[in-house]
Chain A
Amino acid sequence: MAQTADALAHLTEISSQIDAAVVLDREGTVVGATVDDERAGRMAGAALELFRRADEQREQELVQLDAALEGGSVFVVRDADRLIAATTRSEPTVGLVFYDLKSCLRSLAEEPPEKPKPKRAPAKRRTTTPRSRTTTRKKKDESG
């Protein structure tokens, strides 16, 4: 969650066109957002509904969409596990916004899904001389 917040903070820092953004999973659960929880939940619900409706009855798989509306634009981009939805002012640079949203999703996909277990301290090197190799002879088959 903190990593998602970092990725979203970076997104709004590099893209001045983005007013608000929310990251959600395929079920619509909010993973992170640049707005408060209540707004994020409403944004996620609307974004998922929009994406599902747009993806219905299409032969190809929908990967991203944008809607140009009076007063602003909305964008939804998906990757394998997540969706990111964002809003901008009117007439944004569409290609640039898509690029920034995809970069944000990519950075999240590169994160490990769980916190890595604490690493064990590296084993100390042995300074003693290696033991001589011992070989065990195979007993000959007495019956043969």
Chain B
Amino acid sequence: MKAARALAVGAAVGSAAGAILLRRRARSGDRVELYFDDGSFVTVGKGDPDAARLLSPARELLVAARG
């Protein structure tokens, strides 16, 4: 009984930690979020085929702003 409980607690803590790590990793990567007039939005991350096309001018914009 105790072992099952410990296993359940361990699984819960592990999944929470995993979720936090995944979220941090997702946030740390370069990404573009597009918002449309119908209220929908799309996230374009590094793995997407569109990513390079969008991230390149975005970086240019940031560099230009900082001189």
Contacts and interface: CB of A to CB of B under 8 A. Distances in A.
Main secondary structure on A side of the interface with B: mixed
Interface string A59-101: 0111111111111111000000000010100010010000000
Interface stretch (A3-11, A46-54, A108-116, A131-139): A46-54
Interface residue range, chain B: 20 to 34
B58 to A, nearest CB: 4
A69 B36 contact: no
B34 interface: yes
A19 interface: yes
Nearest to B38: A60
Interface of B: 27, 30-38, 40, 53-55, 57-62, 64-67
Contact of A74 (B36, B38, B40, B58): B58
B57 A65 contact: no
Interface residues of A, number: 33
A46 to B, nearest CB: 4
A54 B54 contact: yes
